[in-house]
Amino acid sequence: MSDSHFTRAPYACAPHATKGRRYTEPAPGNRSEFQRDRDRIIHANAFRRLAYKTQVFVNHEGDWFRTRLTHSLEVAQIARVIARSLGLDEDLTEAIALAHDLGHTPFGHAGQDELNRCMKTLAPETGGFEHNLQSLRVVDELEERYPDFNGLNLCFETREGILKHCSLANARELGDVGQRFLDRTEPSLEAQLANLADEIAYNNHDIDDGLRSGLITLPQMREVPIFAEHFDRVTKTRPDLPERRAVAETIRQMINTLIMDVTQTTLKRLEQSQPKNVEDVRISPSMVAFSDDMRQQANDLKAFLLKELYRHYQVTRMTNKARRIVRCLFEAFLDDPALLPPAYRRADQNAQARAISDYIAAMTDRFAIVEYGRVFKMDETF
Ligand code: MG
């Protein structure tokens, strides 16, 4: 087993002690169980499609903005750095980070909210659409790559990390990975970490993309304490830097500050609660966290981005178009499943709604736009 390049702490998940896969497979010969999960995720169809899905900027708005793929790589990078400092399993952390957005719809949160609304109103018995649950559904059911099972047949620990949130109604149906929502226990530290690394990544890259797009401005950003503090330090020590480079350096330093803060805060909490193994971790309060001061600063930054970027009128216009595409496709397909490719037709009404939501959720931004044209516009060929 080639996982001896880092020292695993007793509270980390160990690949040889995994709770296992849904379908038993022979142990891998040349890599750990969690490395195998990470590798399977990278080869998945849904992973490649992340390249053409976005959360803030729709893909065709510019190819210099983050996509869900580059976002996922940044999350994995941040999570791995912290994982090594904490003695966690880096491969598991990376696997969870790379898979965390696999279930995302086209057009980011707008697409997901609209799909959920469609499912809840037009097929209420389905329990709606949740993107975390959909990520799990992708790796458990929807990928068709292996001869003997659906999905990627990942380890429990990876699946647990992918399912960040889940309604209690859905948790009851899920069995093993749903149980912690009913028991109100925590997931592994690797899962907690991937979750926080997600927040560090998007807060910082959305500042970068927001400034580059011109939707938010530098004077606005300088009203946000955490940005102002770092930007002032950069421009004081390097007054010669052109603005773009000073911004890049500011963001680099902010990411570093956040990583250091999480690492130190978490080490302190580990010291206090002394978990002896991963089962202790699960029954303790969550341990991967920002310090109180940094939590507040991160919240202020999030509130700023919500108000000034995610709800910017130009973003809202795009969001509105995205919602309409998702809504119109869903309604048309449910109304007449004969419009669907045959593989997505079902006899039962709820199963039909779920298959439509799987079909739409898998679409890239571009595919959804083209599909809308094919279904609704006379001048499109089919
Ligand atoms: Mg994410």
CATH number for the domain that contains residue 106: 1.10.3210.10
pLDDT at 61: 62
Q: How far is the CA of 201 from the centre of ligand 1 (A)?
A: 8
pLDDT in tens, 253-289: 999 999 999 999 999 999 999 999 999 999 999 999 9
The CA-CA-CA angle for residues 265, 271, 272, to 5°, reads 95
More confident residue, 227 or 213: 227
Q: How far is the CA of 58 from the centre of ligand 1 (A)?
A: 15
The answer to whether position 155 is within a domain reads yes
The answer to whether position 1 is within a domain reads no
The answer to whether position 184 is within a domain reads yes
pLDDT in tens, 121-158: 999 999 999 999 999 999 999 999 999 999 999 999 99
Q: Which secondary-structure segment (H or E) carries 85?
A: helix 68-86
Q: How far is the CA of 308 from the centre of ligand 1 (A)?
A: 20
The answer to whether position 154 is within a domain reads yes
Kindly report the backbone phi and psi dihedral angles of residue 308, in degrees, each rounded to the nearest multiple of 5, phi listed first. -95, -25
241 burial via Cβ count (<10 Å: 0-12, 13-18, 19+): middle
pLDDT at 1: 44
Please report, rounded to a whole number, the percentage of residues in the chain having pLDDT higher than 90.
86
The answer to whether position 161 is within a domain reads yes
Return d(Cα 290, Cα 300) in angstroms, integer: 14
Q: How far is the CA of 141 from the centre of ligand 1 (A)?
A: 21
Distance of CA 279 to the CA centre of its chain: 25
User: pLDDT-based confidence at 57, cuts 50/70/90?
Assistant: low
- When divided into structural domains, the chain yields a total of 1
The answer to whether position 197 is within a domain reads yes
The answer to whether position 50 is within a domain reads yes
Owning domain of residue 207 = 29-314
Q: Which secondary-structure segment (H or E) carries 374?
A: helix 365-376
Q: Which secondary-structure segment (H or E) carries 90?
A: helix 90-99
Cα→Cα distances 369→102, 173, 321, 358, 359, Å = 20, 33, 10, 17, 14
Q: How far is the CA of 194 from the centre of ligand 1 (A)?
A: 9
pLDDT at 273: 93
Report yes or no on whether pTM surpasses 0.85.
yes
Mean pLDDT taken over the chain: 93
Torsion of CA 239, 243, 246, 247, to 10 degrees: 150
pLDDT at 54: 81
The answer to whether position 72 is within a domain reads yes
Neighbours of ion ligand 1 (CB under 5 A): 101, 198
